[in-house]
Structure 1
Amino acid sequence: MTPSLNSIISRLHLKQLRLLIALADHGSLLSAAKQVSLTQPGASKALHEIETTFGTALFNRTSRGLEPNDIGHCVIRYARLIHTDVAHLREEIVGIMRGHGGRVSVGVIMGAVPRVIDAISHLVTRHPEMSVEIVEDTSAALLSLIDAGRLDLAVCRTTISQTPFLYDSVNLQEETLAVIANLSHPFQHARKLHLKDLADVRWVVYRANMPMRMLLEREFREAEIRFPRHLVETTSAFATLSLLQSNPSFVALVSIDVAEFFSQHGMTGILPLKLSSKSEPYELVTRRGAPVSAGARLLMEELLARLDGPEAIA
């Protein structure tokens, strides 16, 4: 029978989690014991207590040493997360005590990466001891991380959520889109393009049902052109850039901020295709009612300082 949550919390200790991580890293009880400053009998007793706490064995005893079983891999994965969170906790406390904000974790969708990086660059210049974690993903994934407390804030969209009322948000910027391609693309030096000129090329796009993809589909539909069937789907800016670099015939739909960043650094060019639609604006998002850390507040202020007019968190 699986122990209750209260039972696990009351019996599990942080030093036991360190032992689990060491066992996963070394596969040897003796080596793990040395790493966490225990005797081998002490480590053996601690492992027995851990397995008793979870009500099941976590390792298979083999001639090669200790190998985690499926439950063991699961427990070790969470042990690493907890260990990392405690390290971040200490880092943030030290930062608050020293008055520089400590640490902040921020999520960002691909199109807003240049804007967020610019804000972070200014922030760490003013607070050089501050640590920042950046997670690039889709809006849905980032909102899930906010829900789980893994992110302090995100620059994404709450409109994709079925429960947008769970978040505080403020619009940061309207998103204008652009089509980019390799500098060797046949249309790179064209003076003007229409959507039909790109109907038969391979597009690099977001996956279905995401705002940027839906906008492109609408553009094709309103132009009465069949939407391309053979696509490459990705939410990664780096994957998009790599695809365009490896195949000069590809084109990609990205935000104008990403397009201009790539263009300024000579990585891709912006094709002269004007799209009639704009995507939904980026939002600065936090969990409603959740406390805002000092580091998160500093980054939020940096992002909000770049607005054209006065805004406040709604």
Structure 2
Amino acid sequence: MIPPLHSIISRLHLKQLRLLIALGEHGSLLKASQQVALSQPGASKALQEIETTFGTPLFVRTNRGLEANAVGQCVIRYARLIQTDLAHLREEVVGILRGQGGRVAAGVIMGAVPLLTDAVSALVARQSELSVDIVEDTSATLLAQLDAGRLDLAICRTTVSQTPHAYDSVKLQDETLAVIANVGHPLRRAKKLTLQELARFRWVVYRANMPMRLLLEGEFRDCGIRFPQHLLETTSAFATLALLQANPSFVALASIEVAQFFAQQQMSCILPLALTSRSEPYELVTRKGGPVQPAAQLLIDELLHRRS
């Protein structure tokens, strides 16, 4: 039986976490003990204490050394996350003491990536010692990371949450959508297109029940056209672009900011299809009532300034 959380917290030490990481890297108690400056007997005792703390073996003893079992692999993964978080903590404290710099972790959905990167670029031009961690994912995943304290802020949509009132959110801007394709697409030179003309092509879309996907399904439904069955589904802007590059007949739905960025770089083109539906706006989201550290506030201020 795994001990309660308070027991693990009270018994686990940072040096033990370093030992776990070293064991995961080397699979040898001797090499791991040398890396963390412990004697081999001391490392062996520390490992026993760690396994007692978690109430279960973490390693399998083999002729090749120590191999982490499923639980051990899980614990080692979180040990690395804790070590990374401590490194970020130190970096942030240094920035605060210097009166500048610091670190901010920001999440963003695909369509709003240019909005965030423009703000970050302008901010780091003024705050050269600022470090920014950008995470691109779906709104649901970003809100979960915000809940866990992994993100300071996110540009996403709270409507996907069952508890949208649990967040502080400010509308940043409306999202306009566009259909994009390879610069060699057969219909690239058309002056105006209908959804009927594009329905026969293979679509790269978001997964089911996501706002952009629901909007596209609504467009097909309003036109009385059957929604395509054989889709290519991804939430990645890079995967979308790579698919368009791989096949000149594919088409995809993207925010106008992403579409224009790709078009400016001549990586794709915007097809002249006018969409009648309106997408949900982007929101700047933070944890409700939670403290906002100085570096995050700088980025929030920059995003809000660009909104006005």
Give, in whole Å, the separation in 1 of the partners of 2:112 and 2:5: 39
| CA RMSD of superposed structures (Å) | 0.8
Taking the TM superposition and a 5 Å limit, the aligned residue runs for 1:38-49 are: 38-49=38-49
Q: Residue 277 of structure 2 aligns with which residue?
A: 277
What corresponds to 1:312 in structure 2? none
Report Cα offsets for 1:194-244 as digits up to 9, x if no partner.
Answer: 110001110001011111111111111111111111110100000000000
Q: Does 1:268 align with 2:273?
A: no
Unaligned 5+ segments in structure 1 are 309-314
Which stretches of structure 1, 4 residues or longer, exceed 3 Å deviation after superposition? none
Amino acid at match of 1:206: Y
Pairwise CA distance, 1:130 = 1.1
Conserved 8 A contact 2:123-2:299: yes
Q: Aligned letter for 1:189?
A: R
CA distance in 2, matches of 1:265, 1:18: 45
Say yes or no: does 1:240 pair with 2:246.
no
Preserved contact between residue 205 and residue 253 of structure 1 (Cα < 8 Å): yes
Tell me what 2:147 maps to. 147
Contact 1:101 1:298 (8 Å CA) reproduced: no
CA distance in 1, matches of 2:198, 2:99: 53
Task: Name the CA distance, whole Å, in 2 between partners of 1:306 and 1:187.
Answer: 35
Check whether the contact 1:107–1:154 (CA below 8 A) recurs between aligned residues.
Answer: yes
1:231 maps to a residue whose letter is L
1:157-203, CA deviations, whole angstroms, 9 ceiling, x for partnerless residues?
00111100000000001000000000000000111101100011100
Question: 2: distance between equivalents of 1:160 and 1:129?
Answer: 35
Alignment of 1:1-314 (within 5 A): 1-308=1-308
| Equivalent pair of 1:206/1:233 in contact (CA under 8 Å) | yes
Runs of 5+ unmatched residues, structure 2: none
Given that 2:174 and 2:279 are in contact with CA atoms closer than 8 Å, whether structure 1 keeps it comes out as yes
Aligned identity (percent) is 72
Aligned length: 308
Q: Tell me the TM-score normalized by structure 2.
A: 0.99
| C-alpha contact 1:110 1:237 (8 A) present in aligned 2 | yes
Deviations 1:236-264 (A, max 9, x none): 00000000000000000000000000000
The alignment partner of 2:204 has SS state of: strand
How far apart in 2 are the matches of 1:244 and 1:157? 26
What is the deviation of 1:97? 0.8
Distance 1:302 1:290 in 2: 19
Find the aligned partners of 1:223 and 1:55 in 2 and give their Cα distance. Answer: 60
Query: What amino acid maps onto 2:12 in structure 1?
Result: L
User: Shift in Å at residue 40 of structure 1?
Assistant: 1.1
Deviations 1:7-46 (A, max 9, x none): 1111100010000000001111111111111111111111
Q: More displaced, 258-267 or 119-128? A: 119-128
Q: Is the 8 A contact 1:205 1:231 kept in 2?
A: yes
Paired with 1:5 and 1:208, the residues of 2 have a C-alpha distance of 37
Partner Cα separation in structure 1 for residue 274 and residue 6 of structure 2: 59
SS at match of 1:303: helix
Residue-by-residue CA offset, 1:137-176 (whole Å, 9 max, x unaligned): 0000000000111100000000111100000000001000
Q: Distance in 2 between matches of 1:283 and 1:220?
A: 27
CA contact (8 A) 1:204 1:231 kept: yes
CA contact 2:170–2:284 (8 Å) conserved in 1: yes
How far the C-alpha of 1:295 sits from its partner, in A, is 1.0
What code does the residue aligned with 2:232 have?
V
* 2: CA distance, partners of 1:214 / 1:109: 16
The CA distance in 1 between the partners of 2:4 and 2:275, in whole Å, is: 56
Shifted more, 34-43 versus 146-155: the winner is 34-43
Q: CA deviation at 1:101?
A: 3.8
Deviation at 1:70, TM superposition (A): 1.0
Distance in 2 of aligned mates of 1:132 and 1:299: 9
Aligned residue for 2:115, secondary structure, equals: helix
